Amino acid sequence: MSPEQPVGVIYVEDDEDVRIGAVQALQLAGLPVTPFGSVEAASATVRADMPFVVVSDVQLRGKSGTAWLSELHRLDPDLPVILVTGHGDISMAVDAMRNGAYDFIEKPCSSEQLVAVVRRALDKRRLTLEVRTLRSALADRQGSQGIEASLLGRSPQIQEVRRLVANLASTNVDVTIYGETGTGKDVVARCLHNHSARRGGNYVAVNCGGLPESLVESELFGHEAGAFTGATKQRIGKIEYAHGGTLFLDEIESMPLSVQVKLLRALQDRSIERVGSNKPVAVDCRVVAASKANLYELSESKQFRADLYYRLGVAFIELPPLRERREDIPVLFEHFTLEAAKRFERDAPIVDEQTMSLLLSYSWPGNVRELRNVADRFVLGVLDRKVLDRSGSAASELSLPRQLENIERSIIEDALRRKLGDVQATAALLSIPKQTLYDKIKRLAVRIESVKDKH
């Protein structure tokens, strides 16, 4: 709610004379009011987070005010609802307050009493909505910062990934993540969940390639007791457990075709049937799938169902291999080194130039996951640099000039970071003239400000 938006009153009374008198009293007090003759008419205008309080008579020709109170509080538990009756007694008032009514007014009441009670309710509603707005803004700000903290790097490729995650997290669309082994598909999936409105629900990860085909169906859909030999009790499946949250299907390309048919039906109907049952169970979950292979190409060769591909293929995020974003290696390695030092209760060693050079030239077939493992060995003092040196000349999809540019950019950014963005000190560290460093910064599009921002 914006600070300028006034909080008003929805007033429900089926006695026209009483309704006109109450509305006039509220309007003379400067309070915006919208009158209705029935709950049914007023209900069409009510929504969660609305800038209104509700004043309703209890005894109405249609739905009663007390019945509406329960519905309103299911919609918004913090909505102030004031009940009015000419037939009330102490027990009714007590029950109404127990059921969540903000206040209870007995007819006939003076205009002053009505206005006073409504003003208190309006003040409460205004404060509630302001707190919600502030919390939402804070969550959005923390969310964008959290995405950057989870998906580290300064390369254009990882910046694009962060942009896509930020844009898609707030939506309910299903997402497919492509990337080689170890590129962090699970990290991106969890990011999408943690920064979505579903973050309060379960994040359920399923490795489709790690399940025996005979267990996949039971694992995903669950089973009833006695559905098969060994099924001694009912079991909730992964899809049902993800209700209200996110279902992450890793290595979905390895899911058996027979199970793909049932998954497609579940996604279309948003309901599942446990093994051994014909009763549908409604499920509301967001599906994030991950694959090493191109699902479209697999569908063209009949190795993956085309209809499931099109059902999942609403939005795509492609994760670049580490060899294509070498400028991120110093930042990632420093982060993993500090993490490992804390985990192993060791001092974090300083990365020397020779080690960094090996890290930058290595081909990283295991991607970020392999880099993390190397950081662990580095902290434990068991890193065999010969392995990195021996594999450094492995084939890369990038041209040699592009690889050299990435390495040079990474070295310069790392040196700038060490010297807190001081170009003169960085030039001295790299043993090159300051003007030469400026030329390289311009040619390689090194952003000094972004380096400074890290401190």
pLDDT in tens, 335-367: 999 999 999 999 888 888 888 888 988 889 999
Side chain identity, residue 29: A
Q: Record the tokens describing residue 223, joined without a space.
A: 């089973």
Q: Within a 13 Å sphere around the CA of 443, how many CA atoms are in the beta-carbon half?
A: 13
The share of the chain scoring above pLDDT 70, in percent, equals 90
Residue showing tokens 């938006």: 5
SS3 for 177?
Answer: strand
Low-confidence residues in the chain, pLDDT < 70: 1-6, 87-90, 93, 134-145, 390-400, 402-403, 450-455
- CA 162-445-410 angle, 5° bins: 75
State the pLDDT at residue 107.
83
Do residues 373 and 401 lie in contact, with contact meaning Cβ atoms separated by under 8 Å? no
Q: What is the pLDDT of residue 398?
A: 54
Going across the sheet that includes 246-250, the strands are 203-207, 246-250, 286-291, 175-178, 315-318
* Cα distance between residue 180 and residue 372, in whole Å: 16
Residues in the chain: 455
Please say whether the beta carbons of 96 and 132 come within 8 A: no
Amino acid at site 191: C
Rg (CA), the chain: 31
Structure-derived torsion over alpha carbons of residues 314, 301, 252, 370, reported in degrees to the nearest 10: -100
Q: Hey, what long-range contacts does 98-101 have (CB within 8 A, 24 or more apart)? A: 99/66, 99/69, 99/70, 99/73, 100/69, 100/73, 101/69
Two tokens at 447? 């952003």
Distance of alpha carbon 51 from alpha carbon 348, whole angstroms: 53
What is the spatial distance between Cα 419 and Cα 411, in angstroms, rounded to a whole number? 12
DSSP state of 435: H
Q: Distance between CA atoms of 417 and 431, rounded to whole angstroms?
A: 16
Domains located in the chain, CATH noted: 8-133 (3.40.50.2300), 151-320 (3.40.50.300), 323-453 (no CATH)
pLDDT for position 12? 92
Helices (H), 151-225: 156-169, 185-194, 213-221
pLDDT score at 1: 46
Amino acid at 95: D
**CA distance linking residue 319 with residue 369, whole number of Å:** 13
Per-residue confidence (pLDDT) for residue 304, from 0 to 100: 94
| Strand 52-57 relative to strand 8-12, pairing | parallel
Q: What residues pair up with 205 in beta bridges, in sequence order?
A: 248
**If 0-12 CB within 10 Å is exposed, 13-18 middle and 19+ buried, where does residue 98 land?**
exposed
pLDDT score of 395: 40
